[in-house]
Amino acid sequence: MILTRRCGELSEADDGTEQVLCGWLQETRNLGGIAFLQLRDSTGVAQLTLPKKKVGDANFSTWTAIARESTVRVVGEVKTNAEAPNGLELIPTELEVLNAAATPLPLGVVDRIESEIDTRLNARYLDLRRPDVAAHFRIRAAISGAVHEHLRREGFLEVQTPKIIASATEGGTSLFPVQYFDREAYLAQSPQLYKQILMSGGLDRVYEVGPAFRAEEHNTPRHLNEFISIDIEMSWADDDDVMGVMERLVASCASAVAQEVEALAALEMAPLEVELPLPRITYDKAIEIASAKSDIAWGDDLSMEATRAIAEQYGGFYFITKWPLALKPFYIQPEGEKHSKGFDFMFREVEMTSGGQRVHDITLLEQRLREQELDPTEFDHYLEPFRYGIPPHGGWGLGLDRLAMVFSGAQNVRECVLFPRDRNRLTP
């Protein structure tokens, strides 16, 4: 047995017992005749107290010289001490260095000096030892778990679609090409078309949580070139139905995150509250609001300046519905001549995702492809199921990384991704 207790698990019941702890040596305070060492693991910090007279001169000198962030194993007696963290201390009888840390450290773990995000990512192995950094991933894990639980509760079947594809998923050029034996293929930017194919197969409620790739040369705090997407598709549904799934899912995520009390405390933030139903405003109304504070006209996409104006009235999560047809992908169902059954899901001024009801009529779908200067023959594998009775359906895709960013209060999506990939980063 390597250890008997985690650092944060020591309790008054352990008083007078011998316990074995393992962790990183966080800090050493040598006062001459006595020294205090802080041992840390993912559960908390334990104090090791070294009275020189009790541990011996040789051990005292050796143990107080151990480099910070070295991994150690310590055997000792637990004692109550009102001045120690959590009211307990451990008097070592054995202290073994399992792996000595090199000095100097490339990144401070408990130091109050803030480092740039790139410096932190280069030394992610140290960065993750910080409780506030690790808290982002505890919240992310809570969200991921809530997503699966909620969607299964609503009758969705988990599926996996290909990530190596033969052609553009949604049209456009933001694709990473890969050599697939003797021909060119691409990394999937979305499972969109495959989700729709499944609607023809009678799997009428499906979801996927998986990677997506976009070869866009953006350099913002909200975008990555590899991300995790939460996607749903459901038959016999319109845009209102899929918005309902979205808002209920987000509310479930909020409830799950609220249970992560220690992670929220490490981030010094309160749980984000989500009250249903979420506001739904039309694109026309959004333009009306935004035009009072920005130079924008009907048919324009919404700039950040425009969405900031809207967010002044709708401060949390909300939907912008009934977008102009010309601004939405070919597979979004029209509503009248100019509008669509497509929506954007917003948090304050930031677009979280888009979705809507899909075109299910093959003739209209081919027309919409041509309107967007796409060749229907290049989408034969996608169009074929539409010739055999595909039902009305709708769906959306939502970035898990961006959702974690919102619920953890992060200012940069890279805070919520273990090893992010952007236009400049391929390692670690």
Backbone angles phi, psi at 392, to 5 degrees: -60, 140
216 as an active site residue: the answer is yes
Query: Exactly one of 354, 358, 414, 415 is catalytic; which is it?
Result: 354
CA atoms within 13 A on the CB side of 419: 5
Query: Exactly one of 205, 402, 408, 414 is catalytic; which is it?
Result: 402
Backbone angles phi, psi at 385, to 5 degrees: -60, -25
Query: Exactly one of 130, 148, 223, 280 is catalytic; which is it?
Result: 223
3-state secondary structure 131-200: HHHHHHHHHHHHHHHHHHHHHHHCCCEECCCCCEECCCCCCCCCCCEEEECCEEEEECCCCHHHHHHHHH
348 as an active site residue: the answer is no
Angle, vertex CA 193, rays to CA 190 and CA 194, nearest 5: 90
Query: Exactly one of 9, 77, 154, 216 is catalytic; which is it?
Result: 216
3-state secondary structure 267-335: CCCCCCCCCCCCCEEEHHHHHHHHHCCCCCCCCCCCCHHHHHHHHCCCCCEEEEECCEHHHCCCCECEE
Question: Cβ(259)–Cβ(142) under 8 Å?
Answer: yes
Q: Kind and range of the H or E element at 256?
A: helix 239-258
Query: Exactly one of 9, 27, 351, 378 is catalytic; which is it?
Result: 351
226 as an active site residue: the answer is no
Query: Exactly one of 73, 124, 222, 308 is catalytic; which is it?
Result: 222
Amino acid (one-letter) located at 290: A
Query: Exactly one of 68, 214, 358, 414 is catalytic; which is it?
Result: 214
In the sheet that 183-187 helps form, which strands lie side by side, from edge to edge?
A: 164-165, 183-187, 177-180
381 as an active site residue: the answer is no
Backbone angles phi, psi at 346, to 5 degrees: -115, 150
CB neighbour list of residue 175: distance below 8 Å, 6 or more residues apart = 168, 169, 186, 187, 189, 213, 214, 215
222 as an active site residue: the answer is yes
402 as an active site residue: the answer is yes
114 as an active site residue: the answer is no
Token pair recorded at residue 336: 């009248």
Q: How far apart are the first and last CA of the chain?
A: 32
Catalytic positions are 214, 216, 222-223, 351, 354, 402
